Structure 1
Amino acid sequence: MNSDDLDLFARIVKAGSISRAAIEMGVDQSTLSRRLGQLEAGLGTRLLHRSGRGVAATERGQRLLEYAATVAGLLAEAEQSLQAGADQGPAQLHIAAQPTLARMLFAPLAQALRQRYPRVRLRLVEGLASQLLEQLSDGGLDLAILYVPEHPGPLRFDPLLSEGVRLIAPADCPLPGSTVAVGGLGGIPLILPSTHHGLRVLAEALAARHGFGLDVALECDGSIALTRRLVMDGCGCTLLPLAAVADEVAAGRLKAYRLVEPEVRRSVGLVLGRTRTPPAALWEAARLVRAQAAALVQSGAWPDARLADG
């Protein structure tokens, strides 16, 4: 005997006949009769009085109805409790992003997640791609927002948006106009991260594809803020998305040249971690990331960004 048997028996008694119960349940009458017979045989007792006017519960059938009502109530209570817990969301969420992406997304995303899951313990992590990928593989992150590397390997990146990459130069840079051809980067002293960093890999890939050598003035594995400072102080130029330097460019402390022939863009993607957080909560967090990114791009608050197709 199981909860389905109890529900079937209760429905037959409530309908007052096996034929009427079969119609209400959308099953064949013979199937219903067979299952009722199996229930009575399993319990070793008759549960229904049968007559030409229908069926009625025997004394033992009435006792079984009481148990059926108790079980149905417990199942309904369990369902409501679990649904309420699911609506409250996971106990914690660990979300990471690379610096520029964190700068753009974390504030509106935190507000959206707090509104959706008021009780969640939210941890936001900013770091370099190599650090975040290691934490993803170790199960320490639920979701990461990353620039898709030149060679993504086995990781599955769900496309989010793309950003243009600019040549960022000191305010007194003598380069004319607002664009620089990719092939012209070979004659410009650059401040770049060391070889493991995504922007360095991108720069080397551009040099290989377009036949020029990089002029690396110095390597800097510090923060973007430090790189901006070095450029402002005339130590060289760098490659960054406009969002990373928008305030400094607007204030005239830096210049930003669009890279053309061809245009250079970096894709941004979502990576779900292998954690114990329920998949539904991860999908909802990813949906909120998408919604906040879309709002920023569509409002123009995320400069030089385009939403991914689809």
Structure 2
Amino acid sequence: MNSDDLECFARVAHCGSISRAAMELGSDQSKVSRQLLRLEATVKSRLFHRNGRGVVLTDAGRTLLEHAKRVTRTIEEARHAIHALSEAGPAELSIGAQPTIARTLFGPLATVLHERFPHTRLRFVEGLAGQVLPWLTSGTVDLALLYLPAHAGGLKADILLQERVRLITPAGETGIGPEFAVRELGNIPLILPSAPHGMRLLAESLASRAGIALHVVMECDASISVIKRLVETGCGYSLLPLAAVAEEAALGRLGTAALVGPEVWRDVALATPRNRTFNADLWPVVNAVRQEVRDLVANGSWPDTRLRDDAV
């Protein structure tokens, strides 16, 4: 005996007809008949008298109906209670992200989450992948938005989009066009963070596959703003997504060139840890994040990206 069978039984009793109950349940008559036969076998009693006009409850059926009503009412109350809890959102919510993602997403996401969950206390935390991952594992943050690392065995990751990586150049650079071949990266002075920063590992991987050696003239583990400033003043070139330099590029302070041969994309993922139980009240938050990301990509607020569904 299960709740589905009891709900089916109660609907047939209310309708007085198996065919009419099947229509209301969005099922077919044979399936409803099988559920009733299974239920009668379980309680070892006939529940209905069948006649030409439909079905009529037996004494056993009337007794079971009272219990079925209580069970279905309790289940419905539980559904409403859980729905109300999930709609309210968690009491507190911490979200971590890497700098470029945080810069692009935290502002609009804060607005959406505050409107959607007005009673939730929000906390946003920015850090490099090497910081965000331990925060996620320890519970310092509930969710993380990050560039998916090569080895993500400790994470449950939902890839949201792919973001293109570009060569960032000083303004007015005449020797570089709108595209730049990966195999040429060894011929220009680069400003990159040190390992194990994700962008440095990506650059080294690209160089290895292209059979070249990078010419790193400066390592910078400071903020992206510092790297951009170094490029702007002519100290070298760097690798960043367009979203990180959109303002400077629009003002003509920095240039960009799309990496080609191959094109270079990074996966942006919504991550939760495998070592902790996922709280049910985070589901509406996860859905809100997914939708906001889709909206940002669709309206161009997260440039040079494609949703995972659109990737080729």
Give the TM-score of the pair, scaled to structure 2: 0.74
Match of 2:100 in 1: 100
Match of 2:8 in 1: none
Runs of at least 5 residues in structure 2 that lack an aligned partner in the other structure: 1-13, 22-31, 45-55, 60-67
Match of 2:151 in 1: 152
Query: Offset of 1:84 from its aligned partner?
Result: 2.4
- Is residue 286 of structure 2 the alignment partner of residue 268 of structure 1? no
Tell me, yes or no, if the aligned pair for 2:185 and 2:214 is still in contact at 8 Å. yes
Q: Number of residue pairs matched?
A: 286
- Is residue 184 of structure 2 the alignment partner of residue 166 of structure 1? no
Q: Counterpart amino acid of 1:234?
A: G
Tell me, yes or no, if the aligned pair for 1:231 and 1:238 is still in contact at 8 Å. yes
Q: Counterpart amino acid of 2:295?
A: A
Match of 1:212 in 2: 212
- C-alpha separation between the residues in 2 aligned to 1:32 and 1:105? 53
Tell me, yes or no, if the aligned pair for 2:104 and 2:302 is still in contact at 8 Å. yes
Distance 1:35-1:213 versus aligned 2 partners, 3 A rule? closer
- C-alpha separation between the residues in 2 aligned to 1:177 and 1:36? 79
Query: Offset of 1:193 from its aligned partner?
Result: 0.5
Q: What do the CA deviations read for 1:93-129 (whole angstroms, capped 9, x no partner)?
A: 1111111111111112112222222211111111101
1:169-188 equivalences in 2 (<5 Å): 169-188=169-188
Tell me, yes or no, if the aligned pair for 1:188 and 1:215 is still in contact at 8 Å. yes
Distance 1:30-1:260 versus aligned 2 partners, 3 A rule? closer
Select the structure of larger CA radius of gyration: 1
Query: Offset of 1:170 from its aligned partner?
Result: 1.1
- C-alpha separation between the residues in 2 aligned to 1:264 and 1:31? 58
Question: Which ranges of 4 or more aligned residues in structure 1 deviate by more than 6 Å?
Answer: 26-37, 68-78
Deviates more, 1:211-220 or 1:114-123: 114-123
Distance 1:180-1:278 versus aligned 2 partners, 3 A rule? same
Match of 2:118 in 1: 118
SS at match of 1:245: helix
Match of 1:290 in 2: 290
Distance 1:221-1:77 versus aligned 2 partners, 3 A rule? same
CA RMSD between the two structures = 3.9
Q: Counterpart amino acid of 2:151?
A: P
- C-alpha separation between the residues in 1 aligned to 2:288 and 2:84? 20
1:1-310 equivalences in 2 (<5 Å): 80-149=80-149, 151-154=150-153, 155-273=155-273, 275=276, 278-282=279-283, 284-309=284-309
Match of 1:42 in 2: none
Query: Offset of 1:166 from its aligned partner?
Result: 0.8
Query: Offset of 1:176 from its aligned partner?
Result: 3.4
Tell me, yes or no, if the aligned pair for 2:94 and 2:141 is still in contact at 8 Å. yes
SS at match of 1:301: coil
Tell me, yes or no, if the aligned pair for 1:145 and 1:270 is still in contact at 8 Å. yes
Tell me, yes or no, if the aligned pair for 1:141 and 1:273 is still in contact at 8 Å. no
Q: What do the CA deviations read for 1:117-170 (whole angstroms, capped 9, x no partner)?
A: 221111111110110011112122221111122x22413322111111111111
Tell me, yes or no, if the aligned pair for 2:85 and 2:281 is still in contact at 8 Å. no
Give the TM-score of the pair, scaled to structure 1: 0.75
Q: Counterpart amino acid of 1:227?
A: I
SS at match of 1:266: strand
Q: What do the CA deviations read for 1:171-218 (whole angstroms, capped 9, x no partner)?
A: 143323211111111011111001110000000001100011111111
Runs of at least 5 residues in structure 1 that lack an aligned partner in the other structure: 1-13, 15-19, 38-53, 58-67
